[in-house]
Amino acid sequence: MVDFGAGTGTLCIGLKQRAADCRLVGIDPDPQVLAIARAKAEASGMTIDWRQAMGDRAGEVIADGSATKVVSSLVLHHCDLPMKQNMLRAMASALQPGGRLFIADYGRQRTLRMRAAFLLVQAVDGFTTTGQNARGILPELIADAGFIQVAEDLVVPTPTGSISLYTARKP
């Protein structure tokens, strides 16, 4: 399993707790953040393979077709459109045929309340990149990257807008 945008490792550690035998690779471009992730995992007695790379360049640190699952949490809303597209293609490249994609990120903001709450995220992270997510572009981008069975399986309202769980499969 590969986590694109692993950050300080919270998701990786949670996944490893639930699937201890899983080979897990956490990718992030920030060496300081990866140092925090590494220390957290070591303190928990977990073996996670941390690799430094931008998500769109993950192919430089992981082999094509080496993963059965790819996850990403709260990363894509930070990225401009070309980076979103390139990261999704890199995720597809990392997966074996039949591999599964799981993305949790801000998606289409369906209600006035969620749209208003999301304005805080937009003010901090930028209106252009976050606006793409708020308009609901991610399912189309996921499909354009070569995935099938693209679905928005869950929408969770939060104090900062709704977060969607997207799933898909590599053919």
Provide the residue ranges of all domains of the chain, joining segments of one domain with +.
Answer: 2-169
2-169 fold: Rossmann fold (3.40.50)
Q: Left if phi > 0, otherwise alpha if psi is -120 to 50, otherwise beta: which for 145? A: alpha
pLDDT digits (tens, 9 = 90+) for 44-92: 999 999 999 998 999 999 999 999 999 999 999 999 999 999 999 999 9
Q: Are 73 and 9 in contact (CB under 8 A)?
A: no
Distance in angstroms (rounded) separating the CA atoms of residues 56 and 1: 17
Give the predicted TM-score (pTM) of the model: 0.94
- C-alpha distances in Å from residue 21, one per residue of 15, 17, 47: 10, 9, 10
- pLDDT tens digits, one per residue of 22-56: 999 999 999 999 999 999 999 999 999 999 999 89
